[in-house]
Amino acid sequence: MELEELTISQVHLGLVKKKFSALELTKTFLDRIEKSDKKISSFITVTGDLALSQAKKVDDLISQGKKIGKLAGVPMAIKDNILVKDVRCTAGSKTLENYIAPYDATVVKKIKEEGAVILGKTNLDEFAMGSSGENSAFGPTKNPLDLKRVPGGSSSGSAAAVSANISVFALGADTGGSIRLPASFCGVVGFKPTYGAVSRYGLIAMASSLDQIGPITKTIEDTKIVFEAISGKDPMDSTSLEFKSKKPNIKKLKIGIPKEYFLKGMNKEVKKVVEAKIEKIRKAGAKIQEISLPHTEYGLATYYIIMPSEVSANMARYDGIRYGYLSKKPGDLLNVYLKSREEGLGDEVRRRIMLGTYTLSSGYYESYYLRAQKVRTLIQEDFNKAFQKVDVILTPVSPTIAFKLGEKSTDPLTMYLSDIFTVSVNLAGLPALSLPAGKVNNLPVGVQLISKPFNENNIFKAGEILE
């Protein structure tokens, strides 16, 4: 097996047994990024000097006979809306093009403590707003399995980098499917932890009640390793919690299949791939049970009211004065705001700000935002009732395979439908994982595994069987 194809576990074993050095491994990945990423555009910033210095520290520890952690010396990438101290953090936007992070996000601090090697910051839809990876101010990311197709968004660069073997693993952030959808389209494993399981401190906020940082990896085992490293309570994030996840027993594991997730408009071949995985886990000893999540049909509408509302509030700071791009010809104070935001922010970001500002405005707050929050509670109750009967819910990740670049970019509503199977998980704050299930027309299809809050191990166990 070539060095770039190794998993986290294989890298760890190779370093400990001195089959290769961390420096050798890091140089291999940096060379691959230089040669192949021009086509894919998965990285915005490559941190070669930082990576090499981190790799050397790991080699020094090994040469001194000291024990190293599972992530030590492992080359990885970080979505460019997560802060790495003294490294540019753009959030994929012109407005933060020259912003240098003043501190490390908590997840980055933990990754550094583990000795992981940071190769760079990955491309994303601007401020994480998008389902395709086409909305970045630095150009679209392309799917490494078919360069004419999208990798999915918004953690497009992270998923593409792992899929293309130019990073062993990556960190992404998931607000409505932004880890799971690109993982599905690129044929890798993407995990969104329970809301509060991983600190959001140092993540540039999009929608604060929905955002969650998580790993994109090649295997379930790797996902567990990264999740254990980055999870836990953080005093800098009041929504984070300390927790213990129970060990599951697969013979007693009950898998729920929600009838609402198998739509008429869903690609028939995608449906067959998902059904084959259901049959596989049945044969492994799990009990399969049809369930109902009756408010699923309102999930997308609810999400696209709550999310833009929170976007509108979080984006207010990027006004050219406090943060972000300042127009070169601003004129009076009002035009400082208007021109700076118009020139510094892309179409999708401005669209969501306007939607959110409208739904929060006087006279419409009760009709839209307040009502959406009530429906959100009903969606959470649907899941709570379902988890009284089953341990894990299995669904598709997307109704389609990766679509072509430009195919949906002129039709926002069609684009938003890409999130139809993923947004309810964020609204309910649940853990969910996208796992490669098979292929249609030589392109990957993902299945989604969902469980109760802080029952990540149920997902990992079911995922290992399907893997």
Model's pTM, two decimal places? 0.96
d(CA 69, CA 12): 8
pLDDT digits (tens, 9 = 90+) for 29-80: 999 999 999 999 999 999 999 999 999 999 999 999 999 999 999 999 999 9
Provide the pLDDT for residue 276.
Answer: 96
Q: Is the pLDDT of residue 455 over 90?
A: yes
Q: CB 148: neighbour CB atoms within 10 A?
A: 11
In sequence order, what DSSP letters do the residues of 441-467 get, joined into one string? TTEEEEEEEEESTT-HHHHHHHHHHH-
d(CA 216, CA 163): 9
Q: Is the pLDDT of residue 94 over 70?
A: yes
Provide the CB-side half-sphere exposure for 66 (13 A, CA).
10
Stretch 18-27: mean pLDDT? 98
Stretch 175-201: mean pLDDT? 98
pLDDT digits (tens, 9 = 90+) for 331-356: 899 999 999 999 999 999 999 999 99
Report the percentage of the chain scoring pLDDT > 70.
100
Provide the pLDDT for residue 229.
Answer: 98
Stretch 366-395: mean pLDDT? 97
Provide the pLDDT for residue 263.
Answer: 79
Stretch 394-411: mean pLDDT? 95
Q: 198 with 230: CB under 8 angstroms?
A: yes
Q: 155 with 174: CB under 8 angstroms?
A: yes
- Write down how long the chain is: 467
pLDDT digits (tens, 9 = 90+) for 285-310: 899 999 999 999 999 999 999 999 99
pLDDT level of residue 250 (50, 70, 90 thresholds): low
Instruction: Give the 3-state secondary structure of residue 146.
Output: strand
Stretch 263-276: mean pLDDT? 92
Place of tokens 């509670």: 377
Q: Which two tokens stand for residue 219?
A: 């295997």
Q: Is the pLDDT of residue 251 over 80?
A: no
Does 362 or 31 have the greater pLDDT score? 31
Instruction: Give the 3-state secondary structure of residue 297.
Output: helix
Q: Is the pLDDT of residue 316 over 90?
A: yes
Q: 79 with 122: CB under 8 angstroms?
A: yes
Q: Is the pLDDT of residue 246 over 80?
A: no
Q: 30 with 119: CB under 8 angstroms?
A: yes
Provide the pLDDT for residue 264.
Answer: 77
Query: Phi and psi dihedrals of 373, rounded to 5?
Result: -65, -35
Q: Which of 167, 125, 128 is nearest to 144 (CA)?
A: 167
Describe the strand order of the beta sheet including 43-46 as a list of residue ranges.
43-46, 117-122, 75-79, 169-174, 212-217, 189-192, 432-440, 443-451, 392-396, 254-258, 287-291
Note the helical H segments in 330-422. Answer: 333-344, 347-360, 371-386, 412-416
Provide the pLDDT for residue 193.
Answer: 98
Q: Which of 124, 6, 111 is nearest to 51 (CA)?
A: 111
Residues 6+ positions from 295 with CB-CB distance below 8 Å: 375, 378, 379, 382
In the 8-state DSSP scheme, what is residue 296? Answer: G
Stretch 82-105: mean pLDDT? 97
- Angle in degrees, CA 398, 446, 289, rounded to 5: 85
Provide the pLDDT for residue 255.
Answer: 96
Q: Is the pLDDT of residue 329 over 90?
A: no
Using DSSP bridges, classify how beta strands 117-122 and 75-79 pair: parallel, antiparallel or unpaired: parallel
pLDDT digits (tens, 9 = 90+) for 210-225: 999 999 999 999 999 9
- In 113-264, the DSSP E strands lie at 117-122, 169-174, 189-192, 212-217, 254-258
In sequence order, what DSSP letters do the residues of 74-126 get, joined into one string? -EEEEETTB--TTSB--TT-GGGTT-B-SS--HHHHHHHHHT-EEEEEE--SG
List the catalytic residues. Answer: 79, 154, 178
Q: Which two tokens stand for residue 305?
A: 């009211």
**Region of residue 347 (phi > 0: left; psi between -120 and 50: alpha; otherwise: beta):** alpha
Provide the pLDDT for residue 438.
Answer: 97
pLDDT digits (tens, 9 = 90+) for 133-187: 999 999 999 999 999 999 999 999 999 999 999 999 999 999 999 999 999 999 9
User: Which amino acid type is present at position 312?
Assistant: S
Domains annotated on the chain, with CATH: 1-467 (3.90.1300.10)
Q: Which of 184, 133, 188 is nearest to 164 (CA)?
A: 188
